[in-house]
Amino acid sequence: MKTIERGELNEQLACDYLTSQGLELITRNYHSRFGEIDLIMSDGQMLVFIEVRYRRSNSFGGASMSITPAKQRKIALTANQFLQNNKKTEHPCRFDVIAIGANKTEWIKSAFDSPL
């Protein structure tokens, strides 16, 4: 399976899982000049910006460890642009991670705070 296909499959699996947990999809693959956010969903009144990470092995720390401070900053900048463009700057929001590994999937709520 190609990397792009695997990414799309894992994003769809994450979206399906989160929808089954009561979240509602707003958009997927939101792009800005700063980067991309895989999924943007709502959890009640909370806007949730979700990074989906896949790692075949935990040899280098696993999927959740692959979200570096630089990546967090790009996600936060992109989230700020989404909030401004959609006039949602007053909404509470959080940054979640869906970490998909060889043997398990983990939903990490509030995985990091905005570094901005």
List of residues 6+ apart from 27 with CB closer than 8 A: 39, 40
CATH number of domain containing 100? 3.40.1350.10
Query: Would you state the pLDDT for residue 96?
Result: 96
- Answer with the residue of higher pLDDT: 1 or 67: 67
- For residues 77 and 35, the answer to whether their CB atoms sit within 8 Å is yes
Query: Would you state the pLDDT for residue 60?
Result: 46
Q: What is the mean pLDDT of residues 29-36?
A: 96
The mean of the pLDDT values for the chain is 87
CA of 26: how far to CAs of 45, 47, 70, 91, in Å?
Answer: 12, 9, 25, 14
Tokens of 93: 């929001």
pLDDT over 90, % of the chain = 64
Query: Would you state the pLDDT for residue 91?
Result: 85
Query: Would you state the pLDDT for residue 64?
Result: 52
Q: What is the DSSP string of 21-83?
A: TT-EEEEEEEE-SS-EEEEEEEETTEEEEEEEEE-S-STTSTTGGG--HHHHHHHHHHHHHHH
- Structural domain count, the chain: 1
- Give tens-digit pLDDT for 51-103: 999 866 555 444 555 688 999 999 999 999 999 999 988 889 999 999 887 77
Domain range for residue 56? 3-112
**Above 90 in pLDDT, residue 41?**
yes
Query: Would you state the pLDDT for residue 28?
Result: 96
